[in-house]
Amino acid sequence: MDESSALSLGLLLIAETPADADWLRQHIADWPSSRPLLEHVADTQSACARLAANDVDVVILVLHDASPTDLEVRLKPVARLRKANAGITVLVLTDFEPDEHAAARILQSANDYLVKHQLSPWSLTRSIRVAGKYHGLQRQLLDVLGASPDGMIVVDEDGRVLYVNQAGARMFGRVPSDLQGELFGYPVAGADRTELDIGTEHTAEMRVVDVEWSGDRAHRSRCAT
């Protein structure tokens, strides 16, 4: 990431105690340019509300406990947060070295994880900057999809809409925010090409490809009238 990118980097820390925020601030004190803006919230619900401002580049979740129960309780909401905020980058910061099962569980919900005792200020800074750069690339991709004249719809394995651009929503007489999280209502799994009868004055041809979206398997549909 170049120096100008680092100026606007926004970090959102999800941690139960202020001590975790103090630790992170100390470790990014020698950031090579202007330090990123760091905000601390105590839980994922608060993080979801904060992300509505759309000025966060990287979310960092602190995990202290490697027990399966704690992993489930802390990571499940983060997976939902990531799915609801297309393009957001999530890092998990742990006090422990995850075993194979724990690592797999973490990576189902986050982009990557970092182990505290293995980090130096330099390596932590580098990891955050790489995550911020990845977020920037994701946002550029969303901008390209959003500007496409063809309808673009991403649907998860349960048939719920993860993403829809303006053109896709317009085909259904809706806006993107109305459709996101709703059931799509048309078959996409295993389909290569499908004709949609939208119930208006026209039909649309839909081409479907399997993609990974926010860490989960999904189906991207390209619709054209």
> What's residue 95's pLDDT?
92
Q: What pLDDT does 125 receive? A: 87
Residues whose CB is less than 8 angstroms from the CB of residue 140 and which lie 6 or more positions away in sequence, other chains included? none
Determine the angle formed by the axes of helices 18-27 and 121-147, rounding to 10 degrees.
100
pLDDT score at 70: 85
Least confident range from 11-15, 22-26, 51-55, 156-160: namely: 156-160
Residue 85 contacts residue 79 (beta carbons within 8 Å) = no
CB 98 within 8 A of CB 75: no
pLDDT over 60 (residue 225): no
* pLDDT above 50 (res 11): yes
pLDDT at 217: 61
- Sorting pLDDT into bands at 50, 70 and 90, what band is 204? low
Instruction: Name the β-bridge partners of 217.
Output: 212
Instruction: Report the distance separating Cα 62 and Cα 176, nearest Å.
Output: 32
Q: Enumerate the β-bridge partners of residue 213.
A: 216
* pLDDT tens per residue, range 66-100: 788 889 888 999 988 887 787 789 999 999 999 99
At residue 198, the pLDDT reads 47
Other CB atoms within 10 A of residue 53 CB: 10
Residue ranges of domains in the chain, CATH in brackets: 3-144 (3.40.50.2300), 148-224 (3.30.450.20)
Q: What is the pLDDT of residue 187?
A: 58
Range 157-174 average pLDDT:
83
Residues 91-147 have pLDDT tens digits of 999 999 999 999 999 998 999 999 999 998 888 988 998 888 877 777 778 788 888
**DSSP tag of 187:** -
Residues 6+ away with beta carbon under 8 Å from 165: 145, 146, 147, 148, 151, 152, 153, 176
Helix, strand, coil shares, percent, the chain, to 5: 40, 30, 30
The pTM (predicted TM-score) of the whole model is 0.66
Rounded CA-CA distance 219/221 in Å is 6
Cα–Cα distance between 124 and 70 in angstroms, integer?
Answer: 24
Radius of gyration, alpha carbons of the chain: 19
> Cβ(91)–Cβ(131) under 8 Å?
yes
What tens digit of pLDDT does each residue of 121-131 get? Answer: 888 988 998 88
